[in-house]
Structure 1
Amino acid sequence: MQAPLKASYDVVIVGGAIYGSSVAWWLSRNPDFDGSTLVVERDPTYEFASTSHTNSCIRQQFSAEVNIKISQFGAEFIHGFKEFMQDDAAPKIVLQSYGYMYLADNEAFAQTLRESQQIQQRLGAGTKYMTADEIKAAYPFYNLDDIIGGNHNLINEGYFDGGTIFDWWRRKARTQGAEYVHNEVRGITRNSAGDRVESVTLASGETISCGTLVNCSGPRAALTAQMAGLDIPVEPRKRYTFIFDAKTPLDRDLPLTIDPSGVHMRSDGKYYMAGCPPDDDPAVAYDDFVEDHSIWENKVWPAVATRVPAFESVKLVNSWVGHYAYNAFDQNAIVGPSPELENFVFVNGFSGHGLQQSPAIGRGVAEWVVYGEYRSLDLSPFGVERIIARESFVERAVI
């Protein structure tokens, strides 16, 4: 464990993975912020962080306007990464736009796709609704016997190297003044009035005063909130990823295909990637990354082989389990200040959307910390107030 260099910081960020580092970097580049930032990370290897297990994709195919706009800025950030970093050594990040393909096997979902496409198109996204015949003409490898239609977008949707973005955010934040320590927040103390966070207690024993506390602790977000006497419905849920080789490779990229079975699949270099939730999807222990190998045999491979007959002969080459920081209430993020503790800020519960949303959300949270308001994009729909009021923020395009 590392002790911080000081006893007081303007901002203490709990968790240094993709969101902790995004917020720290956006703060560090803001000319109106001259405060001190401490990032407390319990595992600096990030071996089990959701960031390390991400499939690193981005899409504009959401039904809620704010989610679409968040991903549109995400694409802008990826394309302009070198300029945002203001560093000649920064690499160019390539967005491989093979697109998402949502498939509908019933009229109700087909209508949902049509309605979502209209919203996306109005906001400038390139999503197109396609009939089964149109999909077959563009991607003849699909078996579409049960499919009515689908939504597809080949503009700014696909895979990008999120790991490099994370690495640069972390390194640049440190270079620009943010302090990272290998430690763990074990307690949070309120002031005498009970309306602000006064300090945090670390595993190494130090008590650190803070002006603002930012909860970026991923699947452990509820634990951090509980230390402050707050409650949010965020829990770790297992998500399975499989990499496989096909005896007969496809003659073109496989879009990230969301099959009605609940399985998704896409091209992954010379291989293919597939994933899914388990049929029984409970909250799990924070350190439970045990694989269930029957999921490949009984769920994933039958689904991909049915949808793409060329995948009847494949070889599994790798697999892993990661955790979604799953918002069990409505599967949308919980972002912004607590109405009970005005300097406690949530950045939690992304339910699988985290990496692609991290540029816009990190920017917005940094704005709130500095200015007390969102300036670039209004993130108030993600506020915890909806959880307290039991009013769902509905997003119909959740994978």
Structure 2
Amino acid sequence: MATGNISSTPSQPSYDVVIIGGAMYGSSVAWFLTDNPDFDGSILVIERDPTYAQSATAHTNSCIRQQFSNPLNVKISQFGAEFIKGFQGFMGNDTRVPELSIQSYGYMYLADDNAFAEQLRSAYKIQRATGASTQLMTPDQISAAYPFYNVDDLELGSINLVDEGYWDGGTVFDWWRRSARERGVEYVAGEVVAMGKNAIGTRVETVTLENGAVIACGKVVNATGPRGAVTAKMAGIDIPIEPRKRFTWIFSAEQPLDRDLPLTIDPSGVHFRQDGPKTYLAGGHADEDPAVDFDDFAMDHNIWQDKIWPTIATRIPQFEAIKVVTEWAGHYDYNTLDQNAILGPHSEVENFFFVNGFSGHGLQQSPAMGRGTAEMLTYGEYRTLDLSPFGYDRIAEGRPFSESAII
């Protein structure tokens, strides 16, 4: 039986690597494994919804930034920018693969009190030391460069106009998946419902699909996004991941701006940016931010009316008259410990690997995290960026990864 052009039955009983989840991260790990000359094993990717209609990948706003407070996150995004801008070359100079770029209108962080201004100054030093082109701006400087902002309540701004902005994440995903399949990675449509471990509980030996198929595995990768905790639980592992709803609106303005709108992070937490030549994108969430059901994608129109639109119109008075063109809700795979990734092997179930918990910055980190996971699966260590600070041990110890720049 096939779903579209993807079978629901694996072609063989055993695989060296079984990746659960075939969206951005499952396909990134699969592709980077095929691109590693030292890996020659078999790979199975299991995707519960091969349309990807409800995946976090499908609902992303597809942006990249280097304005993080932890130098490792800065370096991860720098490789992401390198990969995007050199996409065709990284994909083996395949002439079918398009050349990509980053629409670098920058992220504009706005601080309205001294505490947040100091946080921006501290992060600025880290970013500059790591090679980012971040600039701090006084309210007067913000007004001179972007006269549409209301700066009356601001103390400081922070922006980077190099390799920060929009990129075409959908195309990268499509080509990772397509190229991985062309290189022999098998994708099947199905949902993993159980895992079987060895007698002492140190290895996952099999995964069972809803249709009854039982597949033996050398290593298992959890790339199931907001469902990451459910997948881990099948291996007897608890991780602090839950789906959190995030809303996006595309709107037009009666009076469009005369220059690109940076991705503006208002002190309220609402963010908005340029989308098309005459359209803009806004994002945010409710003040109360509980976990939601996996299939809950309902819009809450009160959030737009009571929070998002008033914030936008206050920050940019020219946006007093705007019209929503389209809107959607998606899910973060939200790490409740520290809103950063959980990566690498489990400390006791040694062949179970995490690629979870990105909390909204997963797409931009997918090149570096996919490459690093492929290295860990192949060599048992990271060979390029040392991603071990994202390891599971900090979860077990309740020791947060330090990163203040969370949106």
Within-5 A mapping of 1:154-233: 154-233=161-240
Determine the structure 1 residue equivalent to 2:55. Answer: 49
2:391 alignment partner AA: G
1:6 partnered with 2:12: yes
* 1:213-265 deviations in Å (ceiling 9; x for gaps): 00000000000000000000000000000000000000000000000111000
Sequence identity, in percent? 64
Alignment correspondent of 2:242: 235
In structure 2, what is the Cα distance between the partners aligned to 1:263 and 1:232? 28
Give the TM-score of the pair, scaled to structure 1. Answer: 0.99
Once the two structures are TM-superposed, the CA of residue 91 in structure 1 deviates from its matched residue by 0.2
Q: Is the 8 A contact 2:112 2:155 kept in 1?
A: yes
Q: What letter matches 2:298 in structure 1? A: V
* Residues 342-366 of structure 1: per-residue CA shift (max 9 Å, x gap): 1000000000001000000000000
Residue in structure 2 matching 1:397, options 392, 400, 405:
405
Q: In 1, Cα distance between the equivalents of 2:324 and 2:200?
A: 58
| Aligned position for 1:268 | 275
| 1:361 correspondence with 2:369 | yes
TM-score (norm: length of structure 2)? 0.97
Does the 8 Å contact 1:29/1:176 carry over to 2? no
- Tell me the amino acid that sits aligned with residue 170 of structure 2: G
Secondary structure, counterpart of 2:81 in structure 1? helix
Q: Is the 8 A contact 2:285 2:303 kept in 1?
A: no
Unaligned runs of 5+ in 1: none
State the SS of the aligned residue for 2:238: coil
Counterpart contact for 2:135–2:158, Cα < 8 Å: yes
Partner AA of 1:285 in structure 2: D
Q: Tell me the CA shift for residue 33 of structure 1.
A: 0.8
- How many angstroms apart in 1 are the aligned matches of 2:108 and 2:337? 26
- 1:120 is matched with which residue? 127
Which amino acid is 2:44 matched to? L
Question: Structure 2: which amino acid aligns with 1:183?
Answer: G
Distance 2:202 2:345 in 1: 12
Which residue among 382, 389, 392 is the counterpart of 2:390?
382
Aligned-residue offset at 1:204: 1.2
Q: Which residue of 1 aligns with 2:145?
A: 138
| Paired residues of 1:325 and 1:351 also in contact (CA < 8 A) | yes
Q: Does 1:110 align with 2:126?
A: no
Q: Does the CA-based 8 Å contact 2:204-2:349 persist in structure 1?
A: yes
CA apart distance, 1:193: 2.2
Q: Does 1:22 align with 2:28?
A: yes
| Moved segments of 4+, more than 2 Å | none
Q: Pick from 343, 360, 363 the counterpart of residue 335 of structure 1.
A: 343
Q: Secondary structure at the match of 1:92?
A: coil
Query: How far did residue 94 of structure 1 move?
Result: 1.7
2:42 to 16, 30, 36: 36
Distance 1:382 1:181 in 2: 29
